[in-house]
Structure 1
Amino acid sequence: LEFEKAKELIILGEEATERAMPEIKAAMTVLLPPSV
Structure 2
Amino acid sequence: MHEFPPQKLTPTPTLSGLQLPSPYITPTPIEPLNKSLLKQ
TM-score bracket for this pair, using the shorter chain length: 0.3 to 0.5
Report which structure shows greater RCO (CA 8 Å, sep ≥6). Answer: 2
Which of the pair is proportionally richer in helix?
A: 1
Larger Rg: 1
TM-score by length of 1: 0.37
TM-score by length of 2: 0.34
